Each structure stands twice: as structure tokens, then as C-alpha cells.
Amino acid sequence: MKSRLGIFGGAFDPIHQGHIQAAHFALETLDLDAVQMIPCNVPNHKESLSASAMHRMAMLELALRDEPSITLDDCEIRRGGISYASETVSAFAESGYWQHRIFVMGMDAFNGLPGWHNWQGFLDSCHILVLGRSGQDVDELVAAELDLERRQVAEPHELFEQSVGQVYLTRLFDVELSSTQVRSLLRENGSVSGLLNPRVFHYIEEHSLYGCKPSQP
């Protein structure tokens, strides 16, 4: 049995450098053995996706080519239908392969957690690392519903004193995780320098994704 796995789910539409930075932050902050990025098939909480599963996985593979500790897991796409995080973390728990499973999410997603499908079962299968930016706070009603006072730990290592259900919240991750801005820049032919892995950008150009027009020779 391996020890600590970070689970990073999302649309990755497209995968951008903020996602990579988040994965590295999780690896280093929690001393994880690995992070698996899991693209959803059909999102449960978002509008329809802009790129197909095939394109999103191809871009992830390109972005992660030089990241030995961060890998792509297509389990939600293979499962089909609407993707529910509770089903994903439950499958990891049932496999018995990883002793600790830590789901990585941003503050906005965490504040929406009570609206997730089977959120109680989700918390019964993993811990949570919340990547907050300075000035972001947990909604008081959300904190009460999740019983955050009982679940929240002050230091990263305290997560692993329990098997599941604990939350470590940091406000030191001042990086935007939304892909909306990236899609807007691509559509408007704006600069995405530093936002996208060059291999991912070339793939987007090659396949004319997100309304991106190929660069002039």
C-alpha cells in the first residue's frame, strides 16, 4: 500500500499552468507521493464543456510530459455519464492501494461542496486540501453544514492523524485556477504567454480549439 495520493479533479478545459502550480503546491505542502489529475466526463456543476474528452486528455498528456509526480487518470471518462467526485474517491478508497487520499480543490469549489452529489460520502472517503487565495473565506453557512470546526486542522501533517474527513485550508495559493480567462484570451487572440504550456498552446492552435486562430507564419 502506498501512502499519500493527491486527487485533482476538474474539467481541465484547457489544462493551464495554474493547475500545474496547484498540483506542485499540494505535493510539497502535504509531502504527497503523487498527484493524479482526473478530467471529468460530463461536469455536474458547470456549463457544457468547450473541448471534447479526447482533446482535454491529449492536452493533459502534453502538459504532464515532464511531470513525473503528476499523472493523468481517465477513470471518470471511462466510467461515462455525469462525473461525481464521491464515486471517484470511493473507488480509490475501495481499491486499498493508497492509505491517504487528499482531494485538491479551490475555495470556490469548497464553498459549493454542500451542493455536491453525496458530499457526506465524499468526505467519508478522503481528506480535502483547500487552495485559498488571500482574502478568500469559507462561507459561514457552508462551514456550519460541513461541521468545519471539527474537521479543520491547523497544520498539514495533522490531516494524516485520521483516515478520512479532515480539511486543511491554506490562503497562500494566490493563483487563479479557472480556465475561463484562458479561453477568453484564446478566443480574442490575446497573449497566453506563461498561462499555457507551449505544447498545449500548439495543440490548441493545430485543432482550432476555443476559437483560437492559428498564428500567421
Residue 137 has pLDDT above 80, yes or no: yes
Among the CATH numbers 2.60.120.310, 3.40.50.1820, 3.40.50.620, 1.10.3720.10, which is that of 2-177? 3.40.50.620
- Beta-carbon neighbour count of residue 44 at 10 Å? 13
pLDDT the model gives residue 45? 74
Q: Which of 22-26, 148-152, 184-188, 196-200 has the lowest mean pLDDT?
A: 184-188
Residue 217 has pLDDT above 50, yes or no: no
Return the domain boundaries, the chain. 2-177
pTM metric for this prediction: 0.94
pLDDT the model gives residue 1? 57
SS3 string of 27-52? HHHHCCCEEEEEECCECCCCCCCCCC
153-210 pLDDT, tens digit per residue, is: 999 999 999 999 999 999 889 888 789 999 999 999 888 989 999 999 999 999 999 9
